[in-house]
Amino acid sequence: METTTTTGSGRYVHGYSGREARRLGDQADALAALLHDGTAYPAGSRVLEAGCGVGAQTVHLVSRSPGVRLTAVDLSGASLDQARARVAASCPEAAVEWRRADLRDLPFPDAAFDHVFVCFVLEHLPDPRAALAGLRRVLRPGGTLTAIEGDHGSAFFHPDSAHARAAIAHQVVLQAAAGGDALLGRRLGPLLAEAGYARVGVVPRTVYADGARPDLARAFTRDTFTAMVESVRDEAVAAGLATPADFDRGVADLHRAAGPGGTFHYTFFKATAVNPQ
Ligand SMILES: C[S@@+](CC[C@H](N)C(=O)[O-])C[C@H]1O[C@@H](n2cnc3c(N)ncnc32)[C@H](O)[C@@H]1O
């Protein structure tokens, strides 16, 4: 089982455990409409998914764009194996080429794709602007890029909790130490413009879960966001950022926000942009 891989100057903070694969699947399924509405590519178009992971977004991509010729790449061979199995199980008719590759040095000729889709990957890269410029190289002039990223600064909840806010802040610090940026969503638009894209448009897509939507509170607040924070517990303690008791209290308080009477807010940023002619 792969547990870590390097991403240039850093380490992929979430790792590759079975638990993380389940979390990515929960996240993609709970947010499918929120993230994928408005994204559909014509049959026959050549689409690249950069950093497909275990295929959690891939199944939604191909089900909304039947007939596309999708190429999905990731650094992790084990994740690609899981992605292949996931897509075969839920969309057996989909034509997907799976490639192990670093999206910062893609083994494709210039202008090889009509569209690029990248979700929750730029936040793990030490130089997301260079990565976006590299993705532009393989996009044909006039082709589109869609990028989706979160921003942990958009997380607020009720009942409020200093311990929960601190636990989230520790995750942000650890991701930065691994070369990433858990606050990337707010600068996604400027990054695309700096990387040479035109017609950059960014739409905030907000998740708000409360007692009226207990399924969303479970799937997003508890099984996606809180699980992600909880996964860095040992690292945060080892780094001296928190005591075990304080971290556990923060996680327990996030669980309260997912429970009866609790509320949770988070904003994703979905950007589309065009490679200039
Ligand atoms: C948080 S996961 C997101 C996976 C998927 N896009 C999703 O939304 O479920 C980030 C993925 O990016 C991959 N990744 C990180 N750096 C990469 C790089 N330089 N090239 C290709 N993949 C990379 C990791 O291996 C991991 O599978």
Cα separation, 58 vs 53, in Å, equals 9
Please give the chain's pLDDT, 277 residues, in tens: 233 333 333 456 677 777 788 778 778 788 999 999 999 999 999 999 999 999 999 999 999 999 999 999 999 999 999 999 999 999 999 999 999 999 999 999 999 999 999 999 999 999 999 999 999 999 999 999 999 999 999 999 999 999 999 999 999 999 999 999 999 999 999 999 999 999 999 999 999 999 999 999 999 999 999 999 999 999 999 999 999 999 999 999 999 999 999 999 999 999 999 999 9
Q: Which domains does the chain have, with CATH numbers?
A: 18-274 (3.40.50.150)
For 53, 113, 118, 137, the CA distances from 109, given in Å and listed in that order, are: 23, 9, 18, 8
Locate 54 and state its tokens.
């275990």
The β-bridge partners of 263 are: 158
Judged by DSSP in three states, 145 sits in strand
Pocket probe for ligand 1: among 59, 62, 75, 181, the residue whose CB has the most ligand atoms within 8 Å is 75
Ligand 1 binding pocket (C-beta < 6 A) is 7, 12, 14, 24, 28, 51-53, 56-57, 73-76, 79, 102-104, 119-121, 124-125
Cα separation, 270 vs 273, in Å, equals 10
Cα separation, 78 vs 180, in Å, equals 22
Locate 191 and state its tokens.
């990054």
Locate 198 and state its tokens.
């035109």
Judged by DSSP in three states, 24 sits in helix
Atom of ligand 1 nearest to the CA of 53: 27
| pTM for the predicted model, two decimal places | 0.93
For the stretch 247-268, what's the b/e string if a residue is b when 16 or more beta carbons lie within 10 angstroms of its beta carbon?
bbbbbebbebbbeeebbbbbbb
Q: What is the CA(246)–ligand 1 centre distance, in A? A: 30
* Shortest-distance Cα residue to atom 14 of ligand 1: 51
